[in-house]
């Protein structure tokens, strides 16, 4: 990527873990077998998912070797795969991930990712998960879901709070000028372009949002 990773503020992972687990619970059904998390570093949340749902196989991604090393060498739970290298803006990384994925995932989790990325990188995520891609190995199973957590603007482009305005200026745009909080509507428009419908938008603690998109049936997607 031409911009740096935005690492969550210190302590935020511990604060949002329980709300995220609660939001995930309705998506982890009896028939859920495989779930992928994007941008999993430092593997704190995904370890908790694996502990909460021991019958589900979880896999996570990290941006580079430094993040992979930062995950730590301690033994991972049996239902949690070692991190896979994925720069979401690099098609070759996505192709390698597809090659390494024997069975499609039932769902994909993204925490603090698409809500602040440049337009092109955010679209890369949905494009590579899309049911509209040509026939072949896909990362997401038909009808699969994509869930995202993070801070957003209001749909009219205004900040949801003074704290969000400060967070955007200091922690997001202050990290790199191409970054910045996005509106939920703009993210859902990218998702819709690639065959996903927004099915849930829920308020979370500290002004964050939980968004869920579901892939349209293949027959409907193919007609677009």
Tens-digit pLDDT string for the chain (224 aa): 455 555 555 556 678 899 999 999 999 999 999 999 999 998 999 999 999 999 999 999 998 888 888 886 568 899 999 999 999 989 999 999 999 998 999 999 999 898 888 878 899 999 999 998 766 678 999 999 999 999 999 999 999 999 999 988 988 888 888 888 999 999 999 999 999 999 999 999 989 999 999 999 864 544 44
Domain count, the chain: 1
Q: Decide if 4 is inside a domain.
A: no
CATH number at residue 167: 3.40.50.150
Q: Decide if 44 is inside a domain.
A: yes
Q: Decide if 1 is inside a domain.
A: no
Q: Return d(Cα 224, Cα 209) in angstroms, integer.
A: 29
Q: Decide if 81 is inside a domain.
A: yes
Q: Decide if 3 is inside a domain.
A: no
Q: Return d(Cα 148, Cα 114) in angstroms, integer.
A: 8
Q: Return d(Cα 187, Cα 104) in angstroms, integer.
A: 23
Q: Decide if 2 is inside a domain.
A: no
Q: Which of 81, 15, 23 is nearest to 47 (CA)?
A: 81
Q: Decide if 185 is inside a domain.
A: yes
Q: Range of 203's domain?
A: 12-23+33-222
Q: Decide if 5 is inside a domain.
A: no
């Amino acid at each position: 990527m031409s911009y740096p990773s935005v690492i969550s503020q210190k302590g935020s992972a511990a604060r949002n873990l329980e709300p995220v687990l609660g939001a995930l619970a309705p998506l982890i059904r009896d028939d859920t077998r495989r779930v992928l998390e994007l941008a999993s570093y430092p593997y704190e949340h995904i370890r908790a998912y694996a502990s909460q749902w021991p019958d589900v196989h979880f896999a996570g991604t990290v941006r580079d070797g430094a993040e992979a090393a930062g995950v730590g060498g301690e033994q991972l739970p049996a239902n949690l795969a070692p991190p896979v290298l994925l720069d979401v803006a690099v098609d070759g990384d996505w192709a390698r991930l597809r090659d390494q994925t024997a069975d499609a995932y039932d769902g994909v989790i993204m925490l603090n990712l698409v809500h602040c990325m440049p337009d092109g990188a955010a679209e890369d995520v949905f494009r590579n998960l899309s049911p509209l891609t040509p026939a072949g190995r896909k990362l997401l199973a038909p009808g699969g879901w994509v869930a995202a957590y993070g801070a957003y603007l209001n749909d009219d482009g205004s900040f949801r709070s003074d704290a969000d305005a400060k967070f955007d200026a200091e922690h997001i745009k202050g990290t790199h000028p191409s970054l910045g909080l996005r509106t939920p509507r703009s993210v859902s428009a990218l998702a819709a372009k690639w065959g996903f419908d927004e099915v849930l938008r829920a308020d979370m603690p500290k002004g964050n949002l939980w968004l869920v998109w579901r892939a349209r049936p293949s027959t409907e997607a193919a007609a677009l």
